[in-house]
Amino acid sequence: MTATARRGRRPGAPDTKAAILAVARAQFAAQGFGRTTIRGVAGEAGVDPALVHHYFGTKDDLFVAALELPVDPRGVIGPALAGGLDGAAERLLTAFLSVWDDPDMRASLLVVVRGMLEPEGHRMLREGFLPAVIVPAAAVLGLDDPERRMALVASQVMGLILARYLLEIEPLASMPSADVVAAIAPTIQRYFEAPLP
């Protein structure tokens, strides 16, 4: 249901849905993920909280919908990590690159990334993306200190996005994705499992 709703294909009340989403996006950006509530979004949108749940699911789901990504990142990260820690980084990076190397996906994702790099978008990324999307998706790995490990993973993955896709720095921009995976997966795997300082 959530996926259908997010893509806006659900019949009926498109204006109400869009209004709820606009309020949610503004509140997540202004207040951060932690202080935004389904009830608060519903209140400002002038609807019943049950309708927000009905359209969008949980607060995490509402947050992902507000990001307006072309794909639910949890649907990419979750399956990649489901096979366990062994080889997790390689599977994660392969799945990640298969999304980013798709030209249509990339165009949509770049719009989102540019928005998150604007000052108004920082809070969405800082307070929402990691705690609401990345860390829960990584829970299947049972890492110790998952916040710190996933912040390190995020630093390498965000740098890769920036260098390869946004700035198109060569030779990284033109490297075959298998070579990118071979070069960078050991970094991610080390952040998953090496002893931390």
Residues in contact with its own copies, shown as a per-residue x/- string from 133 to 162 under the rule CB under 8 A: --------------xx--xx-xxxxxxx-x
Q: Is residue 178 near its own copies by the rule CB under 8 A? A: yes
Nearer to its own copies, 51 or 158 (CB): 158
Number of residues in the chain: 197
Q: Is residue 111 near its own copies by the rule CB under 8 A? A: no
Among 31, 135, 187, 193, binds its own copies (CB under 8 A): 187
The distance from CA 140 to its chain's CA centroid, rounded to whole angstroms, is 17
Q: Is residue 163 near its own copies by the rule CB under 8 A? A: yes
Nearer to its own copies, 18 or 173 (CB): 173
Residues in contact with its own copies, shown as a per-residue x/- string from 61 to 90 under the rule CB under 8 A: ------------------------------
Q: What would the two tokens of residue 95 be?
A: 């799945």
Q: What would the two tokens of residue 105 be?
A: 């996906």
Residues ≥6 apart with Cβ < 8 Å to 52? 20, 24, 38, 41, 42, 45, 62
Nearer to its own copies, 48 or 170 (CB): 170
Tell me the three-class secondary structure of 87-149, residue by residue: CHHHHHHHHHHHHHCCHHHHHHHHHHHHHHHCHHHHHHHHHHHHHHHHHHHHHHHCCCCHHHH
User: CB of 108: closest distance to its own copies in angstroms?
Assistant: 17
Rounded to 5°, the CA angle 31-35-40 comes to: 90
CA distance 179 to 25: 37
Residues ≥6 apart with Cβ < 8 Å to 142? 85
Q: Is residue 192 near its own copies by the rule CB under 8 A? A: no
Q: Is residue 183 near its own copies by the rule CB under 8 A? A: yes
The owner of tokens 């009340």 is 13
Among 19, 125, 135, 140, binds its own copies (CB under 8 A): 125
Among 18, 82, 117, 139, binds its own copies (CB under 8 A): 117
Positions touching its own copies (CB under 8 A) are 117, 122, 125-126, 130, 147-148, 151-152, 154-160, 162-164, 166-172, 175, 178-179, 182-184, 186-187, 190-191, 194, 196-197
